[in-house]
Every structure is written in C-alpha cells, then in structure tokens.
Structure 1
Amino acid sequence: MLETILLSMGAIALSEIGDKTQLLALALAAHYRKPIPIVLGILCATLLNHWLAAMLGYWINAWLTPEILRWVLIVSFIGMGIWMMIPDKDDIDAEHSRWKKYGVFTATLILFFLAEMGDKTQLATIAIAAKVGTVIPVMMGTTVGMLLADAPVVFIGDRFAKYIPVRTVHIVAALVFIGFGVAAYFADPSSFVPHVPAP
C-alpha cells in the first residue's frame, strides 16, 4: 500500500509541474489572495476527480484480460510520457471569470474539477490504478502529489514557480512514464492478472 501511495504521489507531483491546473492555482492565488480556501478547494476537487479516475482504472484492471491490460498500460504510459513534453497553454482566464462570483472555495472546487477532466494527471491516475488494481492508495497518493505541487504555488505564488526548472521536470516525468511503459512491455503478462473483481 505504501509503495502504491509513493508511486502515485511522485508520478503526479512531477506531472503537475507546469500543468494547466498549477497555472490555475497561481491565477486563483493572485486574484483572491486567500490561500486556505484555495488549497481546500484543490483538495476536495482532486479527491473527487481522482476517486472517479482511480475507480475507472480499477475497473479496467478487473475486467480486461491480462494481455489486453498489458498493452493498454504500455500505450497509456508511453503516450503520457510523450504528452509530458508538450507544454500546456494558459487559457484559464475566461473560465475563471465565469465562476469567481461563487466565492473562493466554490470557484476553486469547480474550476479544478473541470480542469482535471482529461488532464495529464487524471489520465495518469487512471493508468496507475489500472496497473496496481486498487483505488484508495492511488487516490491518496495522487491527491498528496497534487498538493505538493500546487500548495506552494498558492502560498508563495510566482516567487516559487519561477525557480522551478519546468522543462527539466517535464523531461524527468516523461522518462518516468515511458519507463513504466517499457517495464510493462517486458513484464510477464501473468503479472497483470486482475487483483479483485470490480464492484
């Protein structure tokens, strides 16, 4: 369980650096200057979004045959690695203005949940859960990873962000995910036997 939490936490923390949701955290912090409700909004949005993502990954693990699951993971992880090399665009201002009237916490909760839909970190959560066949440890790890990347930005703002070598972090994250894909390629298909039946 601890290994799964640490794996999920590290992979997502690396994925989140320079991601659009980290840019969103920076924009919200600059606009509201109320870090506590912003961080709480990020926490709640991530828990909900990544629980759904981990459940989908769990279902994939439980229902696909070992050989199909193996190839799904190979393609997913290598695809994630390639996607990591493509920088996100900062296109959140219009979306932010639509929700800011609802207050700091609610705006953060809604914006983060929507921003995570189809995002790198959500897809990485699905892939990790499909690999390990469990939900709670993955959700815990990915949520902590998101907070490790986003909370300092909220509290310290661009004073923190400008010292992060974003390109280097993206390369490291890409290599990590490609490494997962290569490991899945060389793994024994029997190691991908579903762990438990899906709920």
Structure 2
Amino acid sequence: MEALITSFVLIFTSEMGDKSQLMSMAFATLFKVRTVLISIFIAALINNGIAVIFGSYITEYIPIFYIKLLAALLFLFFGITTLLEEEAKQEKIKNSKYGPFATIISTYVFSELGDKTQLAAIALTASYNSPLYILIGTTLGIFLADVLGIIVGIYFNKRIPSKYLKYLSSFIFLAFGLSTLYKLFF
C-alpha cells in the first residue's frame, strides 16, 4: 500500500504544470472533455505499463541496493532539474486525420516516453517491487493531475501560478530522493 500512495503522490505533484497537463488542457479546447479524459487515461496506462514492465525486470540483473541508489539520485536530479526548468510553453495542437482518440493517445504516449515521470515509475517499480500498486498509483497520479489541469485551465483560467506548482513538484522529488538515501545508508 505504501508503494501505491508514494507513487500516486510523487507522480501527481510532479505532473502539476508539466507538459502532459498542458497538453490535456489544449486537447480539452479542441475535443469533447469526455473524449480527452478517456484518451489520457488510456495513454497514461500505456506509458506507466511500459515503465512498470521495465522496472520489474531490471531487478533481475542489478542488485536492489544499486537500483535504490540510482532511484534516489534520479529523484534528486528530477527535483533539481524541475526547479531549474524554464516555464513550459503550450504547444499548438493540430487536428489529425486519425480522429480525436488516436490523436490524443499517440501524441500523449510519444511525448511522455522517457519523461521524468516515466523514469520515476521505473525507479519506483524497481525500488518497491510492487508493480501493480505502482501502475495504479502512477496512472491515477497522472490522470488526476491532468483532470485537475483541465478543470483549472478551463474553469479557473489558470489562477494558480505555475511557478508554485513547479516548486512543490521539485520539493517532493528532493524529499523522496533524500528519504531514499537516508533509508539506504542509515
């Protein structure tokens, strides 16, 4: 259960102000919100499924201590890079000949491959060795962050400054990184 809660909190907070949240907002201006919600859920499930599968098998080849150490260093790296990132700019979304579902899912999946949240999902899976809980937690974290982004973007016209969301996300990554290092060495 700790793996589910940890993965949800980490991914949910790190997605605030991230490109996937901005994409979801943009898609919601082009397509029906229901179509966007279903599509981003499927895309998040695909991305996190890939991460969980990879994270599950990596422990067979690398000792868990080194994986946890790498996970801690990655969390610290993500915290620092999130803090130093420039404000993300919303990209222009074009209509596709493949329809809204295929457009949203393919755009979302390809733009998130290798993203910090997918790498975090790999590290979480390898650290906790609870792939199902990590899959559920990370997918719900991304999905609910995107839902919140759509609500905030459409109904509240972005009243929450993105810099505060960036600081919160950075703090959470740094806290998880330092906590993991502490558990490894003390």
CA shift, 1:91, in A, is: 5.7
Q: Which residue of 2 aligns with 1:141?
A: 137
Q: 2:97 is paired with a residue of what secondary structure?
A: helix
Partner of 1:67: 65
Equivalent-residue separation in structure 2 for 1:67 and 1:10 (angstroms): 23
**Which region of structure 1 is more displaced relative to structure 2, 56-65 or 102-111?**
56-65
In 1, distance between residues paired with 2:126 and 2:160? 30
| Aligned match of 1:171 | 167
TM-score by length of 2: 0.88
Q: C-alpha separation between the residues in 2 aligned to 1:167 and 1:44? A: 29
- Is the Cα–Cα contact under 8 Å of residues 81 and 174 in structure 1 kept in the other structure? yes
CA displacement 1:61-83 (0-9 Å, x = unmatched): 34311332232122211111112
Q: Which residue of 2 aligns with 1:197?
A: none
Q: List alignment gaps of at least 5 residues for structure 2.
A: none
- After superposition, the Cα gap between the structure-2 partners of 1:4 and 1:160, relative to the gap in structure 1 and judged at 3 Å, is farther
Cα RMSD (Å): 2.1
Measured in 2, the distance between the counterparts of 1:154 and 1:6 equals 23
- Contact 1:77 1:181 survives alignment (8 Å): yes
Show CA shifts across 1:29-51 (max 9, x none).
1122x011111110111101101
Question: How high is the sequence identity, in percent, across the aligned residues?
Answer: 29
Which consecutive aligned stretches of 4+ in structure 1 deviate over 6 angstroms post-superposition? none
Cα distance change of structure 1 residues 47 and 29 upon mapping to structure 2, 3 Å threshold: same
* One-letter amino acid matched to 2:49: W
Distance (Å, rounded) in 2 between the aligned partners of 1:164 and 1:147: 19
Equivalent position SS for 2:130: coil
CA contact (8 A) 2:16 2:169 kept: no
Structure 1 unaligned regions, length at least 5:
192-199
Q: Which moved more, 1:54-63 or 1:75-84?
A: 54-63
> Could you tell me how far apart the structure 1 residues matched to 2:64 and 2:117 are?
24
Tell me the matched-pair count. 185
What's 1:108 paired with? Answer: 104
- CA drift of 1:139 comes to 0.9
CA distance change for structure 1 residues 132 and 160 in 2, over 3 Å: closer, same or farther? farther
